[in-house]
Amino acid sequence: MALDSKIPQGPIADKWTNYKNHIDLVNPANKRNIDVIVVGTGLAGGSAAATLAELGYNVKAFCFQDSPRRAHSIAAQGGINAAKNYQGDGDSTYRLFYDTVKGGDYRSREANVYRLAEVSANIIDQCVAQGVPFAREYGGLLDNRSFGGVLVSRTFYAAGQTGQQLLLGAYSAMNRQIGRGKIKMYNRHEMLDVVKVDGKARGIITRNLITGEIERHSAHAVVLGTGGYGNVFFLSTNAMGSNVTAAWKAHKRGAYFANPCYTQIHPTCIPVSGDHQSKLTLMSESLRNDGRIWVPKHMKDVEAIKAGTLKPKDLAEEDRDYYLERRYPAFGNLVPRDVASRAAKERCDAGYGVNATGEAVFLDFASAIERYGKEQATVRHLDVNDAALVKKLGQEVVKNKYGNLFQMYEKIVDQDPYNTPMMIYPAVHYTMGGVWVDYNLMTTVPGLYCIGEANFSDHGANRLGASALMQGLADGYFVLPYTIGDYLSNDIRTGPISTDSKEFEEAEKEVREKIEFFVTNKGQHSVDYFHKRLGKIMWNKVGMSRNVQGLTEAISEIKALRAQFWKEVSVPGSSDELNEELAKAGRVADFLELGELFAKDALHREESAGGHFREDAVELDGEQKGEAKRDDENFAYVAAWEYKGEPSDAILHKEQLEFNDIELKQRSYK
């Protein structure tokens, strides 16, 4: 099947408006006769469920947690972008569009990104009206900060808990509709398959995670807002339950999976401390606004710091290598995530890592504390030469901005970041790849939609900070509610979809068989045993930098691991009760397939783009020497994979990316 992105005609600034003016609408009375399933209640699914219910559709919403309020979006820390230009620093829809396309290394779809930038300002209005308590200035107006990769202050935030506050906003909008009976909420339910009838998505199969009951749910359309698949690496900043199952099952039912290898590695995470570790904790990128990143210049100092004979804060200024400021003077510590991550790895690989494992660099607030302290002393007419006072005042300012993050760091690492620099290292964070969707956010399966982190369209090969929250809410509140109406306008006479058809029966049977297998297969290894091994292969060979040999090995190792899993996995307990191991087994089974496709995708992409760094694609000379080398001539396309059985049989389809409004240029942050 040829990929049709269905991008509307016309100038980019008018596409969305024209589109909305010409689509078919569903009469409000008819909406009552139409059912929509929304899987996932994060920012994307939650905002979509609330809005669809408000429009009048009957919505059934699903999540695997015990409440929609706990979806993974709750963890987002730093902020959400919007082109409001409240700061008057030159922001505009075009500039947000430009930054996002450039930041994504020109691998996202122009029309989608423009629409995203266009609706971004509405998101802030909407959330404030819902009672989201964003940070404010003394005058009572909204405050902004800047984030990696951009030169304007367009990020709205609520301390270090922006995702939490936005999700609680969407959750409250859902609650209003649940209270009115327009959303039926299914907590602790896991979707295990998509059901297609006559080629269209018409329902899902779920498992009630408390009783183990397998259920059939039908609808006129199905929306997936099921988040990212970074947990294929086992260790990541994602919540433990985040998984690829819903997206992968959709893939197996005909939805193409796009750019699986596009993973974002976030530069500011707490380093791995040992084998017991179950997840990695992100330190918000907003810290890079004030923190300076460095490693020692000389190997002897690295060793002294590791040995504990030299305190990092005692190392003289001239003996420190502020490598981001040195290499990228224009952006300094605020370069985009892929650049910052790679630079940290480069220093650590060269031996300058500062913790026991050699995989950490410093993030230092000493100069910010001093700068803020002096400013405060001046404002309050106090003695700017009183070092202790300046430090105290400076610490107060820093505490106001980042207090909860500092506390979190101290709890985990047992060191006080006000007095000694933090240690950070890159970690798997966000997946830019996902289910392929067209401009309508519809997958290659008619009636099956995909929104938020689970789809692929807006971030290209690298996501700039504060743009995932923006995309989730844009999709859910403002885009999908229009586009899905256009599709559903053909369904006003269809009537309720029966779950008694053979399609539902077969899908249910397959789900049951797999579950039966798990609880009866008495193997010798736990599910985590396999997940951890998969994660190691992924991190070592398909992680921050990749080469042909490593990727080829990874593919065959994952294949072998998968075969072993199906022989030797052991799942205790039974299928008709709360059984966390059983739920995990199904998720890891899907990760073991995705992992292989992921490596296969990385292998075929012989260029470095964004977070995806190929060791054989590096700039060899000129100003960009040593930086990642993109290949627009051969790779300016979306790789969309069609399922054909084993991941190795997947067929590649290409959606050529067209850049009519932004010139393809080298991405330079020098």
Partner 1 sequence: MNLTLKIWRQKNANDKGKMVDYKISDISPDMSFLEMLDVLNEQLINSGDEPVAFDHDCREGICGMCSLYINGEAHGPDRGVTTCQLHMRMFNDGDTIFIEPFRAKAFPVIKDLVVDRSSFDRIQHAGGFISVNTSGNTIDANAIPVNKENADDAFSAATCIGCGACVASCKNSSAMLFVGAKVSQFALLPQGQVEATDRVLNMVKQMDEEGFGNCTNTGACEVECPKGISLENIARMNREYLAASLKG
Ligand X SMILES: Cc1cc2nc3c(=O)[nH]c(=O)nc-3n(C[C@H](O)[C@H](O)[C@H](O)COP(=O)(O)OP(=O)(O)OC[C@H]3O[C@@H](n4cnc5c(N)ncnc54)[C@H](O)[C@@H]3O)c2cc1C
The item of ligand X, partner 1, none sharing an interface with residue 467, based on CB under 5 to 8 Å by kind, is ligand X
Q: Does 133 bind partner 1 (CB under 8 A)?
A: yes
The item of partner 1, ligand X, none sharing an interface with residue 246, based on CB under 5 to 8 Å by kind, is ligand X
CB 308 within 8 A of CB 420: no
Subset of 554-573 contacting partner 1 (CB under 8 A):
570, 572-573
Least distance CB 518 / ligand X (angstroms):
16
Residue count at the site for partner 1 (CB under 8 A)?
79
Tokens standing for 623? 């100003």
Q: Does 126 bind partner 1 (CB under 8 A)?
A: yes
The item of partner 1, ligand X, none sharing an interface with residue 176, based on CB under 5 to 8 Å by kind, is partner 1
Residue nearest to ligand X (CB): 42
The item of partner 1, ligand X, none sharing an interface with residue 494, based on CB under 5 to 8 Å by kind, is none
Residue 280: which of 409, 404, 428, 417 has the closest Cα? 428
Stretch that binds partner 1, among 110-118, 157-165, 313-321, 551-559 (CB under 8 A): 157-165
Q: Which residues contact 319 (CB under 8 A, 6 or more apart)?
A: 296, 297, 298, 301
Spatial separation of the C-alpha atoms in residues 550 and 616, rounded to whole Å: 12
Spatial separation of the C-alpha atoms in residues 604 and 421, rounded to whole Å: 40
The item of partner 1, ligand X, none sharing an interface with residue 42, based on CB under 5 to 8 Å by kind, is ligand X
Among 39, 61, 83, 119, binds partner 1 (CB under 8 A): 119
Query: What is the three-class DSSP state of 614?
Result: strand
Rg (the chain; Cα; Å): 25
Residue 457: which of 254, 230, 259, 216 has the closest Cα? 259
Least distance CB 80 / partner 1 (angstroms):
12
Q: Does 187 bind partner 1 (CB under 8 A)?
A: yes
Among 87, 92, 176, 208, binds partner 1 (CB under 8 A): 176
Q: Which residues contact 463 (CB under 8 A, 6 or more apart)?
A: 103, 104, 264, 337, 430, 432
Residues in contact with ligand X by CB under 6 A are 39-45, 62-65, 71-73, 75-80, 162-163, 190-191, 225-228, 237-238, 242-243, 245-246, 282, 430, 452-454, 466-469, 472
Q: Does 276 bind partner 1 (CB under 8 A)?
A: yes
Tokens standing for 619? 């700039």
Burial of 313 per CB tally in 10 Å (0-12, 13-18, 19+): exposed
Beta carbons within 10 angstroms of residue 191's beta carbon = 24
Burial of 516 per CB tally in 10 Å (0-12, 13-18, 19+): exposed
Q: Does 28 bind partner 1 (CB under 8 A)?
A: no
Q: Does 214 bind partner 1 (CB under 8 A)?
A: no
Spatial separation of the C-alpha atoms in residues 316 and 568, rounded to whole Å: 55
Q: Which residues contact 338 (CB under 8 A, 6 or more apart)?
A: 105, 264, 265, 461, 462, 610, 611, 613, 628
Spatial separation of the C-alpha atoms in residues 279 and 415, rounded to whole Å: 19
Least distance CB 231 / partner 1 (angstroms):
11
Closest to ligand X by CB, 65 or 624: 65
Least distance CB 149 / ligand X (angstroms):
12
| Annotated catalytic residue, options 337, 562, 630, 667 | 337
Closest to partner 1 by CB, 210 or 350: 210
Q: Is residue 337 annotated as a catalytic residue, yes or no?
A: yes
Q: Does 581 bind partner 1 (CB under 8 A)?
A: yes
Residue 201: which of 251, 244, 243 has the closest Cα? 251
How far from 243 is each of 480, 542, 551, 587, CA to CA, in Å?
23, 18, 22, 6
In the 8-state DSSP scheme, what is residue 644?
A: -
Spatial separation of the C-alpha atoms in residues 378 and 21, rounded to whole Å: 56
Closest to partner 1 by CB, 126 or 444: 126
Least distance CB 567 / partner 1 (angstroms):
17
The item of ligand X, partner 1, none sharing an interface with residue 478, based on CB under 5 to 8 Å by kind, is partner 1
Closest to ligand X by CB, 231 or 395: 231
Least distance CB 556 / ligand X (angstroms):
29
The item of partner 1, ligand X, none sharing an interface with residue 158, based on CB under 5 to 8 Å by kind, is partner 1
Closest to ligand X by CB, 227 or 267: 227
Stretch that binds partner 1, among 69-77, 326-334, 348-356, 366-374 (CB under 8 A): 69-77
In the 8-state DSSP scheme, what is residue 458?
A: S
Among 134, 262, 294, 539, binds partner 1 (CB under 8 A): 134
Catalytic residues, by residue number, are: 337
